Amino acid sequence: MFNTEVAEIRFGTGLSPRVSAPQSAEEMLDDLVGPDRMMRAFPIEGFDDFRHRIVAFQKARRSERKAKTEDDRAAATKAKKRANTAARKAYAGMIRDTLLRRTQTSTGFRERLAFFWADHFTARGKSNIVRFATSPYIEEAIRPHIAGRFEDLLIAAVTHPLMLHYLDQAQSVGPNSKLGKRRARGLNENLAREVMELHTLGVDGPYTQDDVRQLAELFAGLSLNQEGGFKFKPAHVEPGAETVLGKSYGRKGSLDDIHAALRDLARHPATARHIATKLAQHFTADTPDPDLIDKLTAAYHESDGNLLNVYVALLNHPASWQPEMTNIKRPIDFVATAMRALDVGEATLARSNQKFLLNLIVTPMQIMGQPWQTPNGPDGWPEEDSFWITPQFMAARLAWALSAPQEMLRVLPDPREFAQTALGQNAPAEVAFAASAAENRWEGIALVLTSPAFQKF
């Protein structure tokens, strides 16, 4: 059942001429609980470190607004520009290191899962330097928990400062709280609704609008301090107990009550089904094998949401190893697997500057339909293949395949050899023929990269 090439294409970051593919499902699973080698090799700062950049920018902006002389204003403006420039430089480094993790890793399943869960718990900054904080959020809230219990991942993501910022939770105040009575500030239901609809129970889950309202009242203490870090604010808390899905929480109005509610939502049968379905869709097909969903649901439920158990069930099911590739790669997967197959190494990306990354990666991905780490809403990127297969998006992939390899490599590989490298032993005969018949190397490489066989995983 296990197939090395299927493992690296469907569950990993693509075939590589230099990095060996996993030899067993057990190896793939062991990699998840071992050291995070890519995190160490290509470090990305956590949100707590990145937050100092946000503070520096905000401090400079306040000084600019309050400046009493032109010299003071000019000095503050320069400080603001320095902070913004430093953040942009760090952001370019995060893009580069994210790509390096994908192209250099021998644990591709870990990288794919990190992306899956970051998408499931979509959060991003909405203004100024906070816009560049998604990678630090992933580094801090997502990566450490992808092989643990779902409830721990849920708590880490939902209570993270970037999530609270993204869903306007910091502005939420219980109407009858101390602050609510004094300032007539209102309750914001965004976070509570997304936790139920997207993160746990699913859009068709067994909850009502009253459950959302009660959970929002329970969440009211979740907020931020002046420096953008997490802070629980008792003055925001709605007094009294809240009832969510028939269970009472919040008599003490504490963070422990919020954690308890999140753990119960994580262990709900509807959550098990929702997570199982999403994983099956992401890794196998838009319409997954019903038995696969049942097996993943059972593994989740029986282990109280131990994600490693769910991955065991995923990798041990026959539906996961069908040789036919059916899912369309998203732009990040297309670009990264192409770079991996081309063996675009650390030296090439290490010397790339912001302009290079913008022109070669970020802008083309946006034209392909996937702006870097900025999905349209908290539901993340669409899983449906039909979203990504449009004339405009496919034309953008073709344009990238024709131009980008030449920009990244001084000497392109022989297209005939590249077809085997990128597609493996089962490379379709028509692709191999087209590659061998191409008039030059760059056209042959583009034919391989834009072939239906390479576009799928």
189 lies in a domain?
yes
Of 114, 5, 99, nearest to 344 by C-alpha is 99
Region at 304 (left for phi over 0; alpha for psi -120 to 50; beta for the rest): left
252 assigned to some structural domain: yes
d(CA 38, CA 307): 20
Whether residue 252 has pLDDT greater than 80: no
111 lies in some domain: no
User: Mean pLDDT, to the nearest integer, of 108-136?
Assistant: 96
Question: In this predicted structure, which of 20-24, 110-114, 115-119, 251-255 has the lowest mean pLDDT?
Answer: 251-255
With respect to residue 16, please indicate whether it lies within any of the assigned structural domains. Answer: no
- What pLDDT score does 184 carry? 63
High-pLDDT (> 90) share of the chain, %: 91
Assign 3-state DSSP to the chain and report helix, strand, coil percentages, each to 5: 65, 5, 35
Question: What one-letter code names the amino acid at 311?
Answer: Y
Q: What is the pLDDT of residue 351?
A: 74
Confidence of residue 400 (pLDDT cuts 50, 70, 90): very high
Q: What 3 state SS string does 9-77 have?
A: HHCCCCCCCCCCCCCCHHHHHHHHHCCCHHHHHCCCCCHHHHHHHHHHHHHHHHHHHHCCCHHHHHHHH
- Which residue, 195, 109, 120, is CA-closest to 147? 109
Which pLDDT value is given to residue 250? 77
How many domains are there within the chain?
A: 1
Is 238 domain-assigned? Answer: yes
What's residue 287's pLDDT? Answer: 97
Judged by DSSP in three states, 381 sits in: coil
Q: What are phi and psi of 232, to 5 degrees?
A: -90, 125
Residue 85 domain-assigned (yes or no): no
Burial grade of 98 (CB within 10 A; 0-12, 13-18, 19 or more): buried
- So what's the pLDDT on residue 268? 98
Classify residue 44: in a domain, yes or no: no
Which residue's structure tokens are 């992933």?
138
Flag whether pLDDT at 64 surpasses 80: yes
pLDDT value of position 243 = 96
pLDDT computed for residue 348 by the predictor: 86
Mean pLDDT confidence for 308-329: 97
| Mean pLDDT in residue range 339-360 | 89
In this predicted structure, what is the pLDDT of residue 178? 81
Higher pLDDT pick, 164 / 351: 164
Domain hosting residue 247, numbered range: 164-266
- Given a cut of 80, whether residue 28 has pLDDT beyond it is yes
Mean pLDDT throughout 350-366?
A: 90
Q: Is it the case that residue 335 has pLDDT exceeding 80? A: yes
Any domain includes 170: yes
Selected residue with higher pLDDT from 56 and 253: 56
Query: How far apart (Å, rounded) are the C-alpha atoms in residues 450 and 438?
Result: 14
